[in-house]
Every structure is written in structure tokens, then in C-alpha cells.
Amino acid sequence: MSFLITILGSGAAIPLLSRYPTAQLVQVHNTMILLDCGEGTQMQLRKYVSKSLRIGHIFISHLHGDHFYGLIGLVNTFHLLGRQKELHIYGIPALKQILDLQLEHSWTTLAYPLIFHQINPDVPEIIMEDKHITVSTIPLNHRIPTCGFLVREKNPRRKIRKDFLEKVKVPHSEFERLRDGDSFVDAYGQEFPNNEITEDPRPAKSYAYCTDTAFHEAMIPQIRGCDLLYHETTFAQDKREDARAKFHSTAVEAATIASLAKVKKLMIGHYSARYQEVDVLLKEAMAIFPETIAAEDGKVVEL
């Protein structure tokens, strides 16, 4: 039962060598998704992630280049690597135009099905659902249409009690059914109701990914109480006018949102290239919301 986030890029619009543009890999059980795909994401995947061909879904928050210029390269590399499995991409319709135009002029017909899902970044809604997770849009307030994404683990399953397994011989093949809530009938016909042989599942975990955005309280109802909030922190507080003008947030603003939304933990990132070190941003955020960590390229966070 794992919920892992790998930071592939923690930088903002101008990349540094130590800080590529935005992309994050989220793995929940065996579901692998990508949140944004800035230039160089395929190199970062090569550096930090094995089996990235397993990525099934890519979500693009908005059409500023530092969030999607790496998408066409990744789509193309998957093709060259012989991918056959469907790839689902979620974004505003213009993203599809941009991909199609580039594929057309390279005379490329992808070897795998690329399924494009048109999203409306202004409306909070579930846009993807599989066995393990749901992904919803979180409308944000940026200069161009932008949304964050809420990744929510689905139905953590019941846990079979150890004392029951010690007492009664249960074939391995039955485990899945029991975790799903079924009763067990042993070889002698005796029935064990599920609530006697399993424990309640732990609460579902959730990850809110909110970048790029100005200070935007409207997101709070959607992200309330989530296990981890990634909130962009492009500037320190002394640059709050820059943040406002560019529809970005300061560390203080990110921490204020985290605090108001009572999230369990905050991760800051999307740092302006002006900050070679991000201590100042982390310190400002922690003064308001102590449970704050700083994203950096290659960092893996487990929920």
C-alpha cells in the first residue's frame, strides 16, 4: 500500500541545472501518473525513475511552457521505445492541437493509442478514476486558465486480522475477496462474517497539487484535510508585489492556505530562479505552518 510522489522538477519558468521545470510522478499502488511535464521531464525520469513506460495518465495544469514543453518529447520517446499501452493525456483542447501539429510535421503515427481528455480548468470535477485513485481538477487563479489536481486514493481495502489467519487456514487465493468485504466459509462449512475477521481500512490518503496560482482561498474546500498539499511558492514575502502581478504565490501565502485548509503537511516548490537556496522560502512558510517541507529535484515523498 504505497502512495509515492517523486519530484522531477521543482523550478519555475527559467530552469536551473539543479532545478528542472515542473513535473511530478505520483505512484499509488501500481497506478503511475504524471502531474505536468516541463522540458526535460524525460531526462529526469531516466535519472530518477525506473519503468516510466508504466505511466498511464498525464495531467497538464496549464499551457505555460514550464509545465508542458516536455510532453511532446515524452510522447515521442514512448513511441520509439515501442509502447503499445494506451496513454491518457488531460488538458485544455489547445494542448491536443499543439501535440497533433508536431506529430503531423514529423510524419509520426504513434505506435500506441494516445487518448486525449479535454478538461475544463474552471470546474472542480473528477476527471479520472481507476481501481486505485480518483483525480479531480482544482480551479486555480493564474494568468491563463489553470487548475491543480487532487489525487485521492480510492477505497483502501479492509485488513485481514492476524489472529484469524493464525487460527483458521485461509487459502491465499481468498485474501483479495476478504479485503473487499466478503465473508469466509471454511472447509467444514462454517461461515465467518467479514466484520469479525477483518479490520476497518485506514482512511484514504490524498494529495493536492496546486501550481501555478495566486493566493486563492476558493481552493480550500477542495483540499481541506488532505495528507499533503503541494502549493507553489515562487517568491518570498518581500516580492509579494511581483507575486501578485504574475499571479503567483509567496511562501507566506502558501502556508496560509495550508493552515486555513488544515492539511496535514505542506510541500513548497516552483521556486523562482532568483533563489539559489530556498531556505528563506522554507523559513517563511514554517513560521506559519511548521509541517512544511521543500521540494527538490529527485526528492521522493511517501504519504
Residues identified as active-site: 66
Asked if 276 touches a second copy (CB under 8 A), the answer is: no
Asked if 98 touches a second copy (CB under 8 A), the answer is: yes
- Name the β-bridge partners of 209: 149, 230
Cα torsion through 48, 85, 4, 201, rounded to 10: -160
Given 50, 84, 105, 163, the residue binding a second copy (CB under 8 A): 105
Asked if 190 touches a second copy (CB under 8 A), the answer is: no
Based on CB atoms, which residue is closest to a second copy, 93 or 225? 93
Which region, judged by CB under 8 A, interacts with a second copy, from 29-37, 75-83, 196-204, 220-228? 75-83
Q: How many residues bind a second copy (CB under 8 A)?
A: 35
Q: Which segments within the chain are labelled E, that is strand?
A: 3-9, 23-28, 31-37, 57-59, 87-91, 114-118, 126-129, 133-139, 147-153, 159-160, 184-185, 191-192, 198-199, 206-210, 228-232, 266-269, 292-294, 300-302
Smallest distance from the beta carbon of 297 to a second copy, in angstroms?
12
Collapse the DSSP code of 188 into the 3-class scheme (helix H, G, I; strand E, B; otherwise coil) and give the result: coil
Which region, judged by CB under 8 A, interacts with a second copy, from 38-46, 168-176, 184-192, 276-284? 38-46
Per the rule left: phi > 0, alpha: psi between -120 and 50, beta: everything else, 262 is left
Which region, judged by CB under 8 A, interacts with a second copy, from 35-43, 52-60, 259-267, 295-303? 35-43
Asked if 282 touches a second copy (CB under 8 A), the answer is: no
Binding residues for a second copy (CB under 8 A)? 13-17, 20, 39-40, 42-43, 46-47, 63-65, 69-70, 72-73, 76-77, 80-81, 92, 94-95, 97-98, 101-102, 105-107, 143-144
